[in-house]
């Protein structure tokens, strides 16, 4: 499906009803149809005769950024079922143009790869018009939205791919192909490398699986104008292609959806793809910790004591708190890159979902200004988030009697935060103010459609981080 800024009329015209207000200049018949259908601006209404679709848009009050995106996503779902090839609509501002494009492009994805009957649609072209936004600006917005939305959809597809296919090797190869196609570098490191790096925590998690672990290092290094040094950001993604819980096995009901425990790593692939395609002047690194948390005769055990890459010892009390072990070594590795920003993305804790609900990302870290800056970027990008505050009392909860740290806190309360603070122990001290932890356990995978997101993977984090990076170079 293409969005074009051509001044062409589509087979159907979308009329946006801002604040759900019905336009005044309707024909008598149109008014009559709306009256019969009891339509008062809620949802969509298709007027066959005049070839119009009315799309009601909720008033866009703070703190909800998504009224227009959500309205378009639901309208496009309905329109795709009609047998039409083209569509046109008017926008009033640059902001509206961006939101409309994202609503359409994100709202039209569905995971049907394994269905015999595909969600086919005839809709090929959408003409975006505006009397208020310059043509060149409109084109630039369409291009940027398309790049970012395509990355989000690609990430969704990868996360949705079942774990029998999407093993650590598969995700690593996927990253490599994406890198090749979009013009950035990709290095894939195997178990031997992890051993040489003394990544004892990462290796332990991966031990019982027949699918071997990989650490992937993606890098996008554009040339600065006249050799100037560009700001550098390192992103770290939790890539558990399956989290059975290990010996601390998850109960059946909690194990389903754990193919999505690779969402952080997949998001990092998508972010690099977008950044490279947009040609953003910033050096961006992606570190993916890819492994499977399984059971077996050689599985790591509760009571084991692991030595992480930064030499800290970790008492294992629950093998299901595995993400933080993989990330511990990846954060230490990423610290060596000496970035100006260090951000990890992880489906880290169920507790974050309890705290914020299914739809919001938990933002954590030691730098208040940075957390607020990120939260603003997320809002601009149309993703929901909430800042969860660290404190020294929660930090104490993972003290261990037998090692430097324990991999689970001694109290369940606040365990999204304590897990975040555990990660902070593996960020090099000089970088601690430059680090953010994003817990995407809630929004990464939801078993119902919401807003611009279909059932399943949402691609959470991609839009927010790309926006954060864009804001750095503005």
Residues binding Zn ion (CB under 5 A): 240, 243, 261, 320, 322-323
Q: Which residues, 180 to 239, sit near ligand BES by CB under 6 A?
A: none
Binding piece for ligand BES, criterion CB under 6 A, among 75-83, 93-101, 302-310, 350-358: 350-358
Kindly tell me the burial class for residue 322, based on how many C-beta atoms sit within 10 Å of its own C-beta (0-12, 13-18, 19 or more).
buried
Question: Of ligand BES, Zn ion, none, which one does residue 44 interact with (CB within 5 to 8 Å by kind)?
Answer: none
Question: Of ligand BES, Zn ion, none, which one does residue 265 interact with (CB within 5 to 8 Å by kind)?
Answer: none
- Binding of residue 361 to ligand BES (CB under 6 A): no
Q: Output 102 or 322, the one with its CB closest to ligand BES.
A: 322
Upstream peptide bond of 46 is cis (omega within 30 degrees of 0) = no
**Quick check: 449 and 456 in contact, CB under 8 A?**
no
In the complex, least distance from residue 253 CB atom to Zn ion, rounded to whole angstroms: 14
Q: Which residues, 404 to 463, sit near ligand BES by CB under 6 A?
A: 408, 415, 441
Whether 317 is a known active-site residue: answer: no
How do 405-406 and 232-243 pair as beta strands?
A: unpaired
Question: Of ligand BES, Zn ion, none, which one does residue 471 interact with (CB within 5 to 8 Å by kind)?
Answer: none
In the complex, least distance from residue 401 CB atom to Zn ion, rounded to whole angstroms: 23
- Binding of residue 344 to ligand BES (CB under 6 A): no
- Binding of residue 326 to ligand BES (CB under 6 A): no
Binding piece for ligand BES, criterion CB under 6 A, among 15-23, 172-180, 276-284, 319-327: 319-327
In the complex, least distance from residue 82 CB atom to ligand BES, rounded to whole angstroms: 36
Which one of 30, 144, 320, 329 is in contact with ligand BES (CB under 6 A)?
Answer: 320
> Which residue of the set 146, 156, 309, 324 is catalytic?
324
CA proximity to 347, closest of 446, 233, 466: 446
- Binding of residue 351 to ligand BES (CB under 6 A): yes
- Binding of residue 77 to ligand BES (CB under 6 A): no
Q: Output 68 or 353, the one with its CB closest to ligand BES.
A: 353
- Binding of residue 323 to ligand BES (CB under 6 A): yes
- Binding of residue 144 to ligand BES (CB under 6 A): no
Q: How many CA atoms lie within 13 A of 416 on its CB side?
A: 27
- Binding of residue 400 to ligand BES (CB under 6 A): no
Binding piece for ligand BES, criterion CB under 6 A, among 88-96, 115-123, 342-350, 369-377: 342-350
The catalytic site residues sit at 250, 324
Which parts of this chain interact with ligand BES (CB under 6 A)? Answer: 243, 261, 318, 320-323, 347-351, 353, 408, 415, 441
């Amino acid at each position: 499906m293409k969005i074009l800024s051509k001044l062409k009329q589509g087979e159907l015209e979308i009329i946006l009803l801002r604040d759900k207000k019905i336009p005044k200049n309707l024909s008598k018949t149109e008014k009559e149809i709306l009256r019969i259908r009891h339509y008062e601006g809620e949802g969509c209404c298709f007027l066959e005769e005049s070839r119009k679709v009315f799309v009601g848009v909720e008033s866009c009050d703070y703190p909800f950024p998504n009224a227009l995106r959500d309205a378009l996503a639901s309208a496009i779902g309905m329109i795709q079922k009609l047998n039409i090839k083209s569509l046109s609509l008017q926008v009033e501002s640059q902001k509206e143009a961006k939101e409309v494009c994202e609503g359409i492009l994100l709202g039209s994805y569905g995971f049907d790869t394994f269905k015999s009957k595909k969600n086919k649609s005839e809709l090929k072209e959408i003409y975006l018009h505006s009397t208020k936004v310059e043509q060149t600006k409109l084109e630039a917005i369409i291009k940027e939205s398309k790049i970012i939305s395509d990355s989000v959809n690609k990430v969704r597809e990868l996360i949705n791919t079942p774990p029998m296919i999407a093993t650590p090797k598969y995700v690593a190869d996927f990253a490599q192909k994406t890198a090749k196609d979009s013009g950035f570098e990709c290095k894939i490191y195997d178990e031997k490398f992890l051993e040489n790096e003394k990544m004892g925590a990462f290796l332990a998690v991966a031990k019982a699986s027949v699918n071997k672990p990989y650490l992937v290092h993606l890098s996008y290094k554009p040339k600065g104008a006249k050799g100037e040094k560009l700001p550098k950001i390192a992103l770290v993604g939790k890539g558990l292609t399956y989290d059975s819980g290990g010996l601390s096995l998850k109960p059946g009901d909690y194990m389903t959806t754990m193919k999505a425990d690779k969402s952080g790593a997949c998001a990092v692939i998508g972010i690099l793809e977008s950044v490279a395609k947009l040609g953003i002047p910033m050096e961006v690194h992606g570190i993916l910790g890819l492994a499977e948390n399984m059971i077996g005769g050689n599985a790591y055990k509760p009571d084991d004591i692991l030595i992480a890459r930064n030499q800290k010892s970790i008492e294992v009390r629950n093998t299901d708190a595995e993400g933080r072990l993989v990330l511990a070594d990846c954060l230490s590795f990423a610290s060596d890159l000496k970035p100006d920003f260090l951000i990890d993305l992880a489906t880290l804790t169920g507790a974050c979902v309890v705290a914020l609900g299914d739809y919001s990302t938990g933002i954590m870290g030691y730098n208040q200004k940075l957390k607020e800056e990120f939260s603003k970027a997320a809002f601009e990008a149309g993703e929901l988030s909430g800042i969860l505050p660290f404190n020294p009392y929660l930090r104490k909860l993972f003290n261990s009697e037998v090692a430097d740290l324990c991999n689970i806190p001694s109290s369940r309360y606040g365990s999204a935060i304590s897990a975040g603070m555990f990660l902070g122990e593996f960020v090099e001290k000089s970088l601690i103010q430059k680090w953010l932890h994003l817990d995407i356990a809630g929004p990464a995978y939801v078993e119902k459609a919401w807003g611009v997101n279909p059932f399943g993977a949402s691609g959470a984090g991609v839009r927010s981080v790309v926006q954060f990076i864009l804001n750095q170079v503005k």
